[in-house]
Amino acid sequence: MRNSSLPIAELSWFDAGGNVHTSSLENGTLWKNSGFRWTSDELGIELEVEAEETEDLRMARLLRASIRERGECRLRSITLLPSRLSAAEGEDAAFLLPCDLGVLCRTSGKAPAQYTLPGFCAKEWPPYVMSTLTTVLMRGKNAESMMVNGAELHAELCLRTNWGEDGEYSVSVRFRLRETPEDPLPEESPSVRIRAFSGGVAALLADCRNELILHKHFVPLKEKAAKQPAIAESARSICIRMRMATKPVPSPVPEQTPENEPEVRVLMTFDDAIRIADECAAQGIEHLDFTFVGWNRGGHDGAFPQLFPVEEKIGGEQAMLRAIRHIQSLGYRVGVHDNYIDTYTLADNLDRSDWMLDSRGRPVTGECWGGGRAYLCCPERACKRYLPENLAKLKHLGLDGAYYVDVISLLNLRPCRNPAHPLTVEQAAEFYKKILKIQHDFTGASMSEGIREWSMPELDRAYAIGNTPEISPELPFADETFPLVPLIFHGFVLYNACRTTINAIPGTVRYLQNIAAGGLPLIYFYQRFRLCADPLNSASEDFTVNPEEKLHREAVILKRIAEDTKRLAPLQTVFLNGFTRLSPALSRTEFEDGSRLYVNWSDEPAFTPEGHSVPAKDFLVEKQPKSGMEGHPE
């Protein structure tokens, strides 16, 4: 593992004219080294990089407080421990990378190339989600993990395949310290740790979890559920989202007013929500968490940050109250969908001085949704103004289900440059985390769109980890999918695996993809709502309330899903120890308590190594074996 001939870091900097230059951090004409201290008289830059390299552990940390920039040059980026996590062309090894659920990249047969895998501050939405930066290199039964333990909000992964004369395959972490010479440096000290393990990935995963708990304040779900009944209930519940009303998306009217606002389209009413709940109760289904989506002024994304009045076309506030009380009387929980990222000009409570501004003083905008063009709100203003105002109006509804806030835990972070309320990226993240915490405290469980590492532990449940279990065409280096992200996060947060596994039904591959990844089923009535093609949100047949016969058939399907969820629920608070593809037909998801979840992907029965039959296109949970006994199926 050790290679002392490699530089401890690679740097880039801006010169006086704003031009970018690069160099390795090693003794020579440009840099002089004394202990951990590095000095460049030519650049007028001094810094300290603490480092430790042994056979099993490598660590490097740029001390933020040590940086001195005496001249006109300014640091731009630093890559710590470059090429340390590496293999060579033809070597029997593979990288596990955290793209969507995770992908496997074998170290052979690739074209020479370099790739940047964006972190939490990507400028554009990539076609895959990066929930963490943790990366693994597998060599037979041995493994190495690379974790970012400081300034992770500014980090990205750099992948090389078959690079140079030696055919290098490597993953390194690059910290983008500045985008322009005028930007301030990050508040935290960039830090990377690489650690080697033998005997499989179980010890590696346990070490990763320990790091997340100790250094990033993650809280295990088991601990949350023991103290908080709402979390315990969520861990055994199916989330049923109901989109009730919307305006055309993308909107034909970007800047909406009460005079030019497009007509609200009703998908379902509060009375329809009661029908869904009654059908489920008639099937004897327990443990459901309903979420009203598009219940607010103008329907889904209709006029945020304005929520009230409740959209009259779906029944209004009294009908909403009646629906909540009826659904709760059946033993189910009810929450709502909300948004503290986007604002729309239609909102009667919007103060445009609360908008987030970019470095040029322009409002930061998003896509055109139901309410028109989305103007991003500064998270400080959202947290201090709009959230408290809305919670005061929501209180009388008596909500007790997961409180869903859109986008936050999937967000690409950015600073707010508004001089009235400027925020660094770190400060922005803290306010988003506060929003999640306040919503958790309001109903007992917070829920948002993704599982970005920085959103923990405030996040309790997620809409989806990634976009799809399939490999994105934007990842030409990926050989197959591998659930690295679930292996790291399961037992810390509840989730559905991907957007394309929403509304998946038993007996389908998409349903099994979610279960094999440790996910809980998520059902969405009227998931499809855009006017344009949207393959990620239309992978499975939509759930709808009409005709009556279809709703009844859907309740029968939900009964089967509920039975499956009952088998999966005890595993939700247990950490994962591994994932193995035993054959093309059979995979095994391994849990820390010894339980095993077998998934049969084929159209014929398959048998576990213990001799138990797994029905076609189904799964089997084998509970923790008792002392001296083999595992028993449930």
Q: Is the pLDDT of residue 104 over 60?
A: yes
- All domains of the chain in start order, with CATH: 9-216 (no CATH), 227-383+407-424+495-571 (3.20.20), 582-622 (no CATH)
CB environment 559-593: b (16+ within 10 A), e (fewer): eebbebbeebbbbbbbbbbbbeeeeebbbbbbbbe
Q: Is the pLDDT of residue 257 over 70?
A: yes
Closest CA to 481 of 472, 491, 471: 471
pLDDT value of position 625: 61
Neighbouring-strand partners of residue 155: 175
Residues 6+ apart with CB under 8 A from 318: none
For the chain, the maximum distance between any two Cα atoms, rounded to a whole number of angstroms, is 79
Q: Is the pLDDT of residue 534 over 90?
A: no
pLDDT value of position 96: 98
Tell me the C-alpha distance between 106 and 92, whole Å. 8
624 close to 574: Cβ distance less than 8 angstroms: no
- Region 354-360: mean pLDDT is 96
Q: Is the pLDDT of residue 457 over 80?
A: yes
- Region 361-385: mean pLDDT is 97
pLDDT value of position 528: 86
132 close to 101: Cβ distance less than 8 angstroms: no
Neighbouring-strand partners of residue 246: 265, 300
Closest CA to 100 of 525, 589, 496: 496
Closest CA to 561 of 241, 285, 248, 177: 285
In degrees, rounded to 5, the angle at the alpha carbon of residue 309 between the alpha carbons of residues 306 and 313 is: 115
Tell me the C-alpha distance between 498 and 626, whole Å. 34
Tell me the C-alpha distance between 296 and 10, whole Å. 51
Tell me the C-alpha distance between 207 and 340, whole Å. 35
Residue 627: CB atoms within 10 A of its CB come to: 4
pLDDT tens-digit series, residues 309-322: 999 999 999 999 99
pLDDT value of position 472: 85
Peptide bond into 305 cis (omega under 30): yes
Q: Is the pLDDT of residue 535 over 80?
A: no
In degrees, rounded to 5, the angle at the alpha carbon of residue 264 between the alpha carbons of residues 258 and 267 is: 160
pLDDT tens-digit series, residues 269-310: 999 999 999 999 999 999 999 999 999 999 999 999 999 999
Tell me the C-alpha distance between 62 and 581, whole Å. 40
Closest CA to 504 of 453, 561, 566: 561
Tell me the C-alpha distance between 258 and 372, whole Å. 12
Q: Is the pLDDT of residue 1 over 50?
A: no
556 close to 549: Cβ distance less than 8 angstroms: no
pLDDT value of position 89: 97
Of 68-77, 115-124, 363-372, the poorest mean pLDDT is in 115-124
Mean of all residue pLDDT scores within the chain: 95
pLDDT tens-digit series, residues 579-592: 999 999 999 999 99
Pair type for strands 238-243 and 288-293: parallel
pLDDT tens-digit series, residues 83-97: 999 999 999 999 999
Closest CA to 264 of 305, 309, 213: 309
Q: Is the pLDDT of residue 629 over 50?
A: no
pLDDT tens-digit series, residues 135-176: 999 998 899 999 999 999 999 999 999 999 999 999 999 999
373 close to 365: Cβ distance less than 8 angstroms: yes
The residue with greater pLDDT, 628 or 22, is 22
431 close to 382: Cβ distance less than 8 angstroms: yes
Per-residue pLDDT band for 627 (boundaries 50, 70, 90) equals: very low
- Reading the block at residue 198, the tokens are 């033998």
Share of the chain above pLDDT 90, in %: 92
318 close to 269: Cβ distance less than 8 angstroms: no
CB environment 603-617: b (16+ within 10 A), e (fewer): eeebebeeebebeeb
Q: Is the pLDDT of residue 430 over 60?
A: yes
pLDDT value of position 125: 79
pLDDT value of position 2: 45
pLDDT value of position 474: 87
- Region 321-345: mean pLDDT is 98
pLDDT tens-digit series, residues 569-619: 999 999 999 999 999 999 999 999 999 999 999 999 999 999 999 999 999
Looking at the chain, how many residues does it have? 634
**The one-letter amino acid at 238:** I
In degrees, rounded to 5, the angle at the alpha carbon of residue 92 between the alpha carbons of residues 88 and 96 is: 85
pLDDT tens-digit series, residues 197-256: 998 899 999 999 999 999 999 999 999 999 999 999 999 999 999 999 999 999 999 999
**The one-letter amino acid at 404:** Y
Q: Is the pLDDT of residue 631 over 70?
A: no
Is the model's pTM score more than 0.85? Answer: yes
pLDDT value of position 565: 98
DSSP string, 214-265: HHH----HHHHHHH-HHHHHHTT-EEEEEE-EE--SS-S-SB--TTTPPPPE
Up-side HSE of residue 92: CA atoms within 13 Å toward CB?
A: 4
Tell me the C-alpha distance between 462 and 237, whole Å. 13
Q: Is the pLDDT of residue 498 over 60?
A: yes
Kindly report the backbone phi and psi dihedral angles of residue 75, in degrees, each rounded to the nearest multiple of 5, phi listed first.
-60, 140
Up-side HSE of residue 327: CA atoms within 13 Å toward CB?
A: 31
CB environment 479-517: b (16+ within 10 A), e (fewer): bebbbbbbbbbbbbbbbbbbbbbbbbbbeeebbbbbbbb
pLDDT value of position 126: 77
Per-residue pLDDT band for 55 (boundaries 50, 70, 90) equals: confident
CA dist 222 to 218, 229, 459, Å? 12, 11, 14
As to burial, measured by CB atoms within 10 angstroms (0-12 exposed, 13-18 middle, 19+ buried), residue 28 is exposed
- Region 337-350: mean pLDDT is 98
498 close to 464: Cβ distance less than 8 angstroms: yes
2 close to 42: Cβ distance less than 8 angstroms: no
Of 120-129, 199-208, 356-365, 570-579, the poorest mean pLDDT is in 120-129
